[in-house]
Structure 1
Amino acid sequence: MLSLNHIYKKYGSNEVLNFREWKIDPGIHWLKGGNGTGKSTLFRIISGQTPFKGEVELNGVNLKKEPVKFRSIISFAEAEPQYPLFITGQEQIDFYTETRNAKASQAANLADYFEMSAFLNQKVGGYSSGMLKKLSLICAFIGNPVLYILDEPLITIDIASADKLYQLIKAQAAQGKSFLLSSHQEVSADKLKLDGVFNIYDKQVIRL
């Protein structure tokens, strides 16, 4: 279970999030909301990427009390991934593989799955937006996290890659893994069964 309590976040004088409680059970959950409503900020809070007031726990592990352990059981892919332009895709993947104590074969299989193997020796600076997104998805699925947080995972990738992502999410969910997704695009109900749909409205997270 993911549990957030007394979450408060502002940038300067702009209050972005302010809610008392949000709890979700294991499963696949979709977070909706327009631009500037706080979706990406909420995901960065949960993944330990930005400071905040409040408490976040996943399966009893508290983000602030056990940050290293907490981060080891989640995986976060940003909406617009930014990697050093001078490294290769393979070097980025190798970093994730080593950091997460994963097998190189797992990363290689993911690269084949998203049809990126032929481009991994190229510099990231030469990647298209679609290639960058697929690289970020490969990195996100490396290792063995409990919770995957995917911010706008469907943007900039083609229909075939989106279908592959749906299949991968379903396969991981069948193994007991959970997902938090955000998307401006409608998540196809016939391709992905959602366990919860939420919206951010007036700094609150509301179940739809």
Structure 2
Amino acid sequence: MIRLALHQIDKKYGNHAIFSFENWQLDHGIYWLKGGNGTGKTTLFKMIAGQTPFEGSLILNDISLKNQPVNYRSMISYAEAEPQYPAFITGNELLKYYLDVRQAKSEDSRSLVEALGMANFMDQKVGSYSSGMLKKLSLICAFVGDVQLFVLDEPLITIDTAAAQVLYQVINARHAQGSSFLLSSHQELEMNHLPIKQVFQIVERQIQPC
């Protein structure tokens, strides 16, 4: 179960303010941040994942990102909207890296590799992958290990309908085991497939419920 709290947040790129809000808090659940490109979804997710600087405080389960960054990041798995990896490594080499870092067993990952139709491509170099294959690989790696909060940026783009159904099943299974999710999408999520707790949007540098 999670307790995520953002306080006194300010984020700028140069003189351009992206966010300026006092508080945003979430507990256990699956949350959807909706909106088109350029609204700040990816910036917010990178802030929560500890990948971009900002002013303010971010605390997950009483662990501060700024005071305990290693412990904080160990509780989060972040998957980018458009993942990029070194072209010379194979899918299996990347997956092994995630397994080693998170000290996880390979069984669950292997079943997801099969379910997403990636088994025949994992020994190929990532540079030969299509955008859909890269997206599937990023999702496979994101679900490695026991993670408190999954932050998935546009998880549905470039994947086919069958892969989307697999993704819904994995999200539901992990949610039932106690993990929480932040999902962004400019596409409509199939609400009948996921128990979305709340939907948010970014309006004038603020995060607002829809």
How high is the TM-score relative to the length of structure 1?
Answer: 0.98
Identity of aligned residues (%): 56
Q: After the TM superposition, which segments of 4 or more aligned residues of structure 1 sit over 4 Å from their partners?
A: none
Shift of 1:105: 2.1
Secondary structure of the corresponding residue to residue 109 of structure 2? helix
Instruction: Give the corresponding residue for 1:50.
Output: 52
Determine whether 1:69 maps to 2:68. Answer: no
Q: Distance in 2 between matches of 1:105 and 1:167?
A: 17
RMSD (CA atoms): 0.8
Instruction: Please say if residues 33 and 201 of structure 1, whose CA atoms lie closer than 8 Å, have aligned partners that are also in contact.
Output: no
Instruction: Give the corresponding residue for 1:81.
Output: 83
Q: Distance in 1 between matches of 2:151 and 2:115?
A: 20
Shift of 1:108: 1.7
How high is the TM-score relative to the length of structure 2?
Answer: 0.97
Deviations 1:141-191, CA, capped at 9 Å, x for gaps? 001110000000000000010011001101111111100000011111111
Q: Which runs of 5+ in 1 are unaligned?
A: none
Paired residues in the alignment total: 208
1:166 is matched by which residue type in structure 2? Answer: Y
Shift of 1:18: 0.9
The counterpart of 2:98, out of the listed 96, 99, 112, is 96
Q: Which runs of 5+ in 2 are unaligned?
A: none
Deviations 1:35-86, CA, capped at 9 Å, x for gaps? 1111000000000001111111111111111110111111000000010011
Q: Distance in 1 between matches of 2:104 and 2:94?
A: 14
Instruction: Give the corresponding residue for 2:179.
Output: 177
Shift of 1:113: 2.1
Instruction: Please say if residues 40 and 151 of structure 1, whose CA atoms lie closer than 8 Å, have aligned partners that are also in contact.
Output: yes
